Amino acid sequence: MSKKDKLLEAIRANPSDVRFDDLCKICEENFGKPSSSRSSHRVYKVSWAGDPRVNVQNKKGKAKAYQVRQVLEAIRKLEEIKKNENGSKS
C-alpha cells in the first residue's frame, strides 16, 4: 500500500482530525492542481457536470470536517465513474 493510500485510509478513518496539507495532497492526487488557492482556501475542479468543484479551507492547520467529508464523497464518486467507464469498455 502506497503512502497516499495509507493517508487516504487514515482520513477516511478519522475525518474530523485531518491536517490541511494532507487533505490538499489527496485532492491534488485525485483532482489535480487547485484552480484557486487563496490564502486559506483551495478550490479543486472535478470532472462531472453540476457543481464541479471541491473547496477546502485551512483553519489553524486543520481541514474542516464537513469539507473532508465532501472530498471523500467526491473521491468515491470519481472512483465510481472510473469503474463504470472501465466496465463499459469490456
Provide the residue-wise pLDDT of the chain in tens; the chain has 90 residues.
788 889 999 999 999 999 999 999 999 999 999 987 777 889 998 877 776 889 999 999 999 999 999 999 999 998 888 888 887 655
CA distance 50 to 78: 14
**Dihedral sign computed on CA atoms, order 20, 21, 24, 30:** negative
pLDDT for residue 47: 77
Global pTM value = 0.84
pLDDT for residue 64: 94
DSSP state of 84: H
The domain segmentation of the chain, as residue ranges, is: 3-89
DSSP state of 19: B
pLDDT for residue 66: 95
CA distance 65 to 69: 6
The letter for the amino acid at 37 is S
Cell numbers describing residue 46: 472535478
